[in-house]
């Protein structure tokens, strides 16, 4: 188990500046336009939010390796973090997740607060011991679940009141009690309560929502009792770059241990998401972890890493796996995806991905996995989840090593073709 924990330790290991020809569009894809960085900055100057001399911030934008340390647990970013909603990365044991290489997983504040509840969390001294996870844990704020799961809800300045999705009982989450819950969970990285701005929203709606989230962030920062756990602020602002910049500037005043981008991957286009990342990232502190919430598609990971994001989470790899859908390298399927129930795999003695070294690919054929899936055998959900998590681990590993060697921009087209052929 994790010991000698204290505040997250953050070290920058290596960073690359986006090369000149990147700005000229050499590495552009349909979604990521390198010149967005400059365009978005110009818009901020027009609106009086940025000054010309702040343009040097753009030079700091680029992919990087950082080291995060939580007590005896150490890891390098960029990383993906598997989601263990109610204290279990769905269908997997802690060993399954750890042995792929993962060292941080997510727990969901909203879910854990409902079940098993905080009395048990306190009894066990936190989620690590309860679920026997030897790595670090990040807990989200609950804000996203209030929006996506609760049928009836009311947001006031005080917090969010809603009927929970299990028994309909009325619950109020406030910036303060969300800190308290996370301190009971004893997570290593705790997220402040935010309102995930509805999509779409007008500029005025997004502004009001963002400003409330920023007031909540300040209250959350003041509510802490355990000062030896990291707390991250969350940038909001809907689909408006100027609001995103206002948001990060206000957050920084609270000196959080890290900064997250929330409210993306909520229905907007990939193009839109990248534009907003381009607007926001230059303003995020260089010496703190940067976390893009709820994002896990291979092409999104690649592009966001290029812009300097360190951390990601998403239910997609494990949820897709349970639906029979896995990511594979383009050498295994030109689309980068396999739907295992497809009859094309009926007699295939091939693994899901012959270049993958996961437990599943080392041992099982597509024919066997398809058979288990059709027969609804529980083992298949575990096997497919292991593979999808290995895939995202390998992707971030390859990006990391390419940053370390300085060869990332050279190898980028190959990495894209290999891991995200659909986006090339």
Binding residue positions for Zn(2+) = 356, 358, 361, 387
Q: Whose CA is closest to 221, among 183, 175, 184? A: 175
10 Å Cβ neighbour count for 253? 12
Contact residues for 277 (Cβ-Cβ < 8 A; gap 6+): 261, 264, 292, 303, 304, 307, 309
Confirm or reject binding of residue 122 to a second copy (CB under 8 A).
no
Q: Check if 313 is active-site.
A: yes
The CA-to-CA distance between both ends of the chain, in Å, stands at: 42
* In the complex, minimum distance from the CB of residue 346 to a second copy, in angstroms, rounded to a whole number: 8
Q: Could you give the string, one character per residue 36-75, with x where binding to a second copy holds by CB under 8 A and - elsewhere? A: ----------------------------------------
Does 149 bind a second copy (CB under 8 A)? Our answer is no
Cα separation, 216 vs 196, whole angstroms:
12
- Token digits of residue 394: 């390998």
Q: x/- string (CB under 8 A) for a second copy, residues 377-416?
A: xxx-xxx---------------------------------
Among 41, 80, 110, 130, binds a second copy (CB under 8 A): 130
CA distances from 321 to 170, 300, 385 (A): 33, 18, 5
Helix (H) or strand (E) holding 176, with range, is helix 175-185
Q: How far is the CB of 124 from a second copy (least distance, A)?
A: 7
How many CA atoms lie less than 13 Å away from 60 in the CB half-sphere? 14
Q: Quote the tokens at residue 349.
A: 């003695």
Identify whether 140 is a catalytic site residue: yes
Residues 338-377 that bind a second copy (CB under 8 A): 346-347, 349, 363-365, 367-368, 371-372, 374-375, 377
What residues form the annotated binding site?
A: 140-144, 194, 236, 263, 356, 358, 361, 387
Residues 79-98 that bind a second copy (CB under 8 A): 86-88, 90-93
List residues with catalytic annotation. Answer: 140, 313
Which residues of the chain form contacts with a second copy (CB under 8 A)?
86-88, 90-93, 115-116, 119-120, 123-124, 130-132, 346-347, 349, 363-365, 367-368, 371-372, 374-375, 377-379, 381-383
């Amino acid at each position: 188990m994790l010991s000698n924990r204290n505040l997250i330790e953050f070290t920058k290991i290596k960073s690359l500046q986006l090369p000149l020809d990147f700005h000229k569009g050499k590495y552009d894809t349909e979604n990521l336009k390198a010149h967005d960085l400059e365009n978005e900055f110009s818009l901020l100057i027009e609106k009086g939010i940025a000054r010309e001399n702040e343009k040097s911030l753009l030079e700091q934008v680029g992919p990087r390796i950082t080291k995060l340390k939580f007590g005896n647990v150490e890891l390098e970013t960029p990383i993906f973090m598997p989601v263990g909603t109610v204290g279990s990365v769905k269908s997997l044991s802690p060993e399954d997740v750890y042995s792929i290489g993962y060292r941080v997983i997510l727990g969901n504040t909203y879910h854990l607060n409902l079940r098993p509840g905080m009395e048990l969390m306190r009894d066990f001294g936190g989620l690590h011991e309860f679920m026997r996870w030897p790595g670090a844990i990040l807990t989200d704020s609950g804000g996203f679940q209030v929006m996506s799961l609760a049928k009836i809800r009311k947001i006031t300045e005080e917090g969010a009141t809603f009927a929970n999705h299990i028994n309909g009982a009325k619950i109020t989450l406030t910036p303060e009690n969300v800190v308290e819950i996370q301190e009971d969970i004893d997570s290593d990285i705790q997220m402040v309560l935010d309102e995930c701005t509805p999509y779409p929203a007008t500029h005025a709606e997004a502004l009001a929502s963002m400003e409330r989230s920023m007031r909540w962030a300040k209250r959350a920062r003041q509510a802490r009792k355990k000062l030896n756990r990291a707390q991250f602020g969350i940038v909001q602002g809907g689909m408006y770059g100027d609001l995103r910049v206002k948001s990060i500037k206000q957050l920084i005043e609270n000196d959080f241990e890290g900064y997250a981008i929330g409210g993306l991957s909520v229905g907007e286009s990939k193009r839109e998401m990248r534009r907003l990342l381009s607007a926001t990232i230059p303003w995020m502190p260089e010496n703190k972890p940067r976390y893009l919430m709820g994002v896990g598609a291979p092409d999104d990971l690649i592009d966001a890493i290029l812009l300097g994001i360190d951390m990601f989470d998403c239910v997609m790899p494990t949820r897709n796996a349970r639906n029979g859908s896995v990511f594979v390298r383009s050498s295994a399927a030109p689309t980068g995806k396999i739907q295992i129930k497809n009859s094309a795999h009926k007699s295939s003695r091939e693994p899901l991905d012959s270049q993958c070294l996961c437990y599943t690919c080392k041992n099982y054929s597509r024919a066997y996995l398809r058979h288990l899936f059709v027969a609804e055998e529980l083992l298949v959900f575990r096997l497919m989840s292991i593979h999808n998590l290995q895939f995202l681990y390998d992707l971030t590993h390859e990006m990391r090593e390419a940053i370390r060697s300085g060869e990332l921009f050279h190898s980028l087209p190959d990495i894209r073709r290999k891991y995200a052929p659909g986006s090339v």
